[in-house]
Amino acid sequence: MQFILVIVTLIAGITLSTQSAVNGSFSKKAGTLESAFLTFVTGGIILFIITLFFGQGSFLDFFHAPKWQLSAVWFGVGYLFLTIVAIPKIGIIAANISAVIGQLTMGMVIDHFGWFEGMTIHFDLKRIIALIIMIIALRLIYKADIKNSAEEKLIN
């Protein structure tokens, strides 16, 4: 079962990169805020319809949730907006690796202190080395992107 979840998450990452690329391109035509708005409105409509038929909870439970848990929507909006801003300027790979490094860093902090779920997974050398390797990869990719962009401008 865990292997299937890894594959599903891998597919989710593929769709996220594709969405980021399309939104970055779309934002050049329609605008950054407009692209983010269209994504959330369309997603909201689709999820509303799916929830009507397959939902197992209650929309009224929103009012009983701790208010800090509702802050998650702002993180999603922030992520989408910031990637739409970044992708046309630094490219899909650099934007996505930056996002993954941010996710890993914050995930390590959350796991270490046991925030939100109570389970703790402490920092260790392997995790820190993995993060450093990701930062090195980001630097190499970003430098290669700048070099390729400069060469492309010379050709044109």
Based on the fold, state whether residues 70 and 136 are members of the same structural domain.
no
Confidence class of residue 8 from pLDDT cuts 50, 70 and 90?
Answer: confident
Tens of pLDDT along 46-65? 999 999 899 887 878 878 88
DSSP H or E run through 116: none
Based on the fold, state whether residues 133 and 68 are members of the same structural domain.
no
- Compute the distance between CA of residue 108 and CA of residue 123 in angstroms, rounded to an integer: 7
Based on the fold, state whether residues 71 and 101 are members of the same structural domain.
no
Mean pLDDT in residue range 64-72: 84
Domain count, the chain: 2
Nearest to 130 by CA among 100, 91, 92, 90: 100
Based on the fold, state whether residues 54 and 77 are members of the same structural domain.
yes
What share of the chain has pLDDT > 90, as a percent?
Answer: 26
